[in-house]
Amino acid sequence: MSDWIAAIILGVVEGITEFIPVSSTGHLLLTKSLLGLPNGFWDTFTVLIQLGAILAVVALYFGKLWKVLIGLPTSAEARAFAISVLIAFIPGAVAGLTLHDVIKTILFESPRLICWSLIIGGFVLLALDRWAPAPRESDAMALTWKTSLVVGLFQTLALIPGVSRSGATIVGSMLMRVEKRAAAEFSFFLAIPTMAGAFAVDLYKNKDLLSVDQAGVIAVGFAVSFIVGFIFIRTLVDFVGRHGFAPFAWWRIVVGAGGLVWLAMASQ
């Protein structure tokens, strides 16, 4: 398989899975393994193209984000929202910087861990969808700082491939009584600094693995993840409002179980 086709496939997977609670990293790493792609560059590729999907959030929510940006000097609401995102961002940033090498050299190379994380997370989502506490907060741009901190602590769990960054933040939000549509939206906003930071750290730490010849392959994956992510975000919030998280929970369980079967067959 050519690198270009692999980049397109991984870009599609990233765009579809980044914002739904099924673990984009887990799906990317399992897809990479299924395609027979080597470690090293392709592990870094799976991180770098996530920024494309994040830029889709910026494009779709540009009006709201721009209003916050220009309102920072004069609007207490804008400052409160910016601080809430910062508070939620800090725990994951500290944990990610501290554990980056362990994550990339050990956790990224454990397909079984990814599969079990998908399955366990699926059952957590099923339970939450059925027994979540009654919501008290319904505006993603007006969460309390206490809620934001708890969401940020939950996001650190997503350092384990297969857990899902969006899934962890949504679970944390709903346990703090945030309405599920607002929980999904806050997860989008928190993704912007989180994934931009992951992109910068991974690019710096793995710059020696990258070459000018690979720039085109990365650009293709980046563009595909942006386009597919843009399409999926537009429909995700309404889908969650109508159907909840059960469809994604079952998706996780099926993919995780299928992955375990495939690994068992491959080891024979």
Domain regions of the chain by residue span: 3-266
Please indicate whether residue 142 or residue 238 has the higher confidence score (pLDDT): 142
**pLDDT above 90: residue 108:** no
The yes-or-no verdict on residue 83 having pLDDT over 80 is yes
Q: Measured at the alpha carbon of residue 49, what is the angle toward residues 46 and 54, in degrees to the nearest 5?
A: 125
Closest CA to 159 of 204, 98, 209, 220: 98
The per-type count for the chain, helices as H runs and strands as E runs, is 12, 0
Q: Which residue is associated with the tokens 């799976």?
A: 46
CB 172 within 8 A of CB 36: no
HSE-CB at 73 with a 13 A cutoff on CA atoms is: 1
**Do 194 and 165 form a contact (C-beta atoms < 8 A)?**
yes
Which amino acid appears at position 232 of this protein?
Answer: F
Q: Which of 71-75, 90-94, 98-102, 263-267 has the lowest mean pLDDT?
A: 98-102
First-to-last C-alpha distance (Å) of the chain = 24
Judge whether residue 234 has pLDDT over 80.
no
pTM for the model stands at: 0.83
Sequence-ordered list of residues with C-beta below 8 angstroms from that of 79, at least 6 positions apart, any chain: 72
Q: Is 101 left (phi over 0), alpha (psi -120 to 50) or beta?
A: alpha
Residue labelled with tokens 């399955």:
119
Which segment of 42-56, 131-145, 165-179 scores lowest on mean pLDDT? 42-56
Model confidence at 79: pLDDT above 80:
yes
Predicted confidence (pLDDT) per residue in 149-161, tens digit: 999 999 999 888 8
Dump pLDDT digits (tens) for 149-193: 999 999 999 888 888 888 899 999 999 999 988 998 899 899 899
Most confident region among 167-176, 231-240, 241-250 by mean pLDDT: 167-176
Per-chain mean pLDDT for the chain: 87
